[in-house]
Amino acid sequence: MNKPIQSRPIWPEHRFRAMGSAMGLWVEADQPLAREAFGQVEALFAANERVLSRFDPASELSRLNARSGQWVNISPLLRDVLDRALALAKETSGLFDPTILPALEAAGYTHSFELIASGNIVWAPESPTYPKGRWAEIKLDGQHVYLPQDVRIDLGGIAKGYTAGQAVDWLRRLGPCLVDAGGDVVAGEAPTGMPGWPVSLTAPWTGDDVTEQHLLMVWLRQASIATSGIDWRRWLHRGRSAHHLIDPRSGRPAETDVLTATVLDADPARAEGWATAALVLGMEGGMATLSDGDMAGALVDAYRQIRLNPPMQMHIMWQSA
Amino acid sequence: MTNSSTSKPQKRNTDPLSSGLKAALVIGSLAASVVGARLVALKDATTTITSTKPAVVVYPAPQAQPGMSDTTSGSVPRILPVIPTVIVPAPMPISPITSTRSSR
């Protein structure tokens, strides 16, 4: 890979792990102010994880999931994220479905991926059947929610992007900022003298050459770019290969020719939700659906074919050969 | 065109714009000059076109095919070397600060 033409400025930066993923924060501000703000954002991610994580039995979400079939009072945070998830389910015609938790558990995703990857998991007995499409039966009334019997929620599909959006709103008080929440990247204003934050899309394939390969680059400004993929979170479950992106139509890990689906949108949760939906639909269906909705998308398949639609091409400032 | 065995001596055709001119094939290497360019007619050896105006010269398209010989000119064509082409991606204008990827 040729060296970049221009070296970029060094901005205050902070790295940490949260929600099972690597996080990155950048802000164009003085170091002391940036350091303080970074600490507050890291605390924000930890606080949201205590509410939204299905892996924590004490989280508010876990307690809600244990009380299906009755009205439950919930916090403004959980209410807002759930509301966004249901709106995305409606917008994607159920291809993004927050009620897939039973299907995830049936596929073996019963614990955090870090634990699964460690190999120290004893698989639970087969989970009950996933109740397909019942997201539409969930009722929200003010701060109260009703989950139909046996319906349980997973918010892993949008929790990172949602929290990253909150983090940008917090950091932007100091200046131009960028938040990378496990690959879901949310940008505030552009840094001084630049059209945006330079963010690349990396290739999902690895091989003998494990050096990170950049496929394209965008200037990200006041927008989000999110990637869903089956290239990393994969495991063997009961002798079968499995991954974490469930096709709500089958209730099983999506059988798709897409390795990664990337969507650029003003809203981080929407970018995440549609990236998942596009991956489930496959190269042809996914790209057609994104294009029909005028959503900027890039799909990559196992044959190293990259497909971009015109709305995404408008954002691209560099692309590998 | 007339039969060569019974043809009368043909008048020299000094008019290059005559509609009776026949197309001639140019084979082999040609001397590239405006005046005195020579056309070699294959089909009708009796037709000689002379003109004070430059004739149309048709250069053969380069076809470097190994083993092919040009029997009409008697010369062996040069086989052009194949230059390997390597596509080098343009360098990135700037190094990315981070990348979007599936969660890890």
Strands A258-265 and A296-301: antiparallel
Q: Is B6 on the interface with A (CB under 8 A)?
A: no
Q: Greater confidence, A214 or B1?
A: A214
- Asked whether the beta carbons of residue A260 and residue B101 sit closer than 8 angstroms, the reply is yes
- Asked whether the beta carbons of residue A262 and residue B88 sit closer than 8 angstroms, the reply is no
The SS3 of residue A236 is strand
Question: A165-168: long-range contacts at Cβ-Cβ below 8 A with a sequence spacing of 24 or more?
Answer: A165/A224, A165/A267, A165/A268, A165/A269, A166/A44, A166/A48, A167/A25, A167/A41, A167/A44, A167/A45
What is the DSSP secondary-structure string of A243-290? ES-EETTTTEE---SEEEEEEEESSHHHHHHHHHHHHHHHHHHHHHHH
Find the DSSP H helices in chain A: 31-52, 60-65, 76-91, 101-106, 113-118, 159-171, 268-292, 310-313
CB contacts of B92 in chain A (<8 Å) are 1-2, 4-5, 200, 214, 217, 318
The SS3 of residue A4 is coil
Best CA proximity match to A274, nearest among B86, A265, A117 = A265
The SS3 of residue B69 is coil
pLDDT of residue B95: 92
Q: Is the pLDDT of residue A23 over 50?
A: yes
Q: Which residues have CB under 8 Å from A41's CB, separation 6+? A: A14, A25, A167, A170, A171, A179
- Asked whether the beta carbons of residue A183 and residue B101 sit closer than 8 angstroms, the reply is yes
Q: Pick from B94, B101, B104 the residue to mutate for testing the A interface (most A CBs within 10 Å).
A: B101
Q: Is the pLDDT of residue A60 over 50?
A: yes
Separation CA A183–CA A212 (nearest Å): 14
How close does chain B come to A146, measured CA to CA in Å? 30
CB contacts of A155 in chain B (<8 Å) are none
pLDDT band at B60 (very low <50, low <70, confident <90, very high): very low
pLDDT digits (tens, 9 = 90+) for A254-313: 899 999 999 999 999 999 999 999 999 999 999 999 999 999 999 999 888 999 999 999
Separation CA A132–CA A124 (nearest Å): 21
Separation CA A93–CA A204 (nearest Å): 27
State which amino acid sits at residue B101.
Answer: R
A-B contacts (CB, under 8 Å): 110
pLDDT digits (tens, 9 = 90+) for A134-179: 999 999 999 999 999 999 999 988 999 999 999 999 999 999 999 9
In chain A, pLDDT over 70 holds for what percent of residues?
88
Nearest CA in chain A to B104: A21
Separation CA B25–CA B28 (nearest Å): 10
A24 CB neighbour count, 10 Å cutoff: 17
Q: Are A189 and A222 in contact (CB under 8 A)?
A: yes
The backbone torsions φ and ψ at residue A205, rounded to the nearest 5 degrees and listed phi first, read -85, 145
pLDDT of residue A231: 81
CB contacts of B89 in chain A (<8 Å) are 1-2, 320-321
Report the pLDDT averaged over residues A46-67: 96
Q: Greater confidence, B32 or A251?
A: A251
- Asked whether the beta carbons of residue B103 and residue A1 sit closer than 8 angstroms, the reply is no
Separation CA A146–CA A151 (nearest Å): 10
How close does chain B come to A163, measured CA to CA in Å? 15
Q: Is the pLDDT of residue B6 over 50?
A: no
Nearest CA in chain A to B101: A183
Regarding an ipTM greater than 0.95, the answer is no
pLDDT of residue B1: 40
Best CA proximity match to A232, nearest among A104, A109, A113, A112 = A113
Separation CA A225–CA A256 (nearest Å): 21
The whole-angstrom distance between residue A156's C-alpha and the CA centroid of its chain comes to 7
In chain A, pLDDT over 90 holds for what percent of residues?
73
Best CA proximity match to A256, nearest among A310, A300, A292 = A300
Q: Which residues have CB under 8 Å from A56's CB, separation 6+? A: A49, A50, A62
Q: Pick from A5, A55, A299 the residue to mutate for testing the B interface (most B CBs within 10 Å).
A: A5
Average pLDDT, chain A: 90
Least confident range of A66-70, A76-80, A106-110, A195-199: A106-110
Cα A157–Cα A132–Cα A162 angle in degrees, nearest 5: 15
Q: Greater confidence, A93 or A4?
A: A93
Q: Is B86 on the interface with A (CB under 8 A)?
A: no
CB contacts of B96 in chain A (<8 Å) are 198-200, 214, 217
pLDDT digits (tens, 9 = 90+) for B16-49: 445 555 555 554 455 544 444 444 433 333 222 2
Separation CA A189–CA A173 (nearest Å): 11
- Asked whether the beta carbons of residue A232 and residue B103 sit closer than 8 angstroms, the reply is yes
How close does chain A come to B80, measured CA to CA in Å? 28
Q: Pick from A53, A168, A211, A227 the residue to mutate for testing the B interface (most B CBs within 10 Å).
A: A227
pLDDT digits (tens, 9 = 90+) for A84-111: 999 999 999 999 999 999 888 888 777 7
Q: Are A201 and A216 in contact (CB under 8 A)?
A: yes
DSSP symbol at A231: S
Pick from B89, B92, B104: which is nearest to A21 by CB? B104
How close does chain B come to A229, measured CA to CA in Å? 5
Q: Is the pLDDT of residue A184 over 60?
A: yes
CB contacts of B97 in chain A (<8 Å) are 8, 11, 26, 178, 197-199
